[in-house]
Amino acid sequence: MNKLTLIAATVLLVAPLSFAQPVDLAQSRIVFTMKQLNVPIDGAFTKFLANVDFDAKKPEAGKADFTIQTASISLPTADAIAEAKKKEWFNTAQYPTARFVSSGMKSLGNGRYQVNGKLTMKGVTRDVSAPFTAREAGGVTVVEGVLPVSRLAFKVGDGEWSDTGTVDDQVQIKFRVALKRGA
Q: What string of H, E and C letters represents the secondary structure of 154-178?
A: HCCCCHHHHCCCCECCEEEEEEEEE
Q: Which residue has the higher pLDDT, 183 or 71?
A: 71
Rounded average pLDDT over 76-86: 97
Q: What is the DSSP code (8-state) at residue 21?
A: B
Global pTM?
Answer: 0.85
pLDDT of residue 18: 46
Q: Are 65 and 100 in contact (CB under 8 A)?
A: yes
Residue 147: pLDDT band (50, 70, 90) is very high
Rounded average pLDDT over 57-68: 96
**Protein fold of 19-180:** Lipocalin (2.40.128)
The Cα–Cα gap between 22 and 5 comes to 29
Question: Which of 52, 68, 67, 20 shows the shortest CA–CA distance to 132?
Answer: 52
Q: Which residue has the higher pLDDT, 3 or 104?
A: 104
Question: Per DSSP, what are the bridge partners of residue 67?
Answer: 49, 99
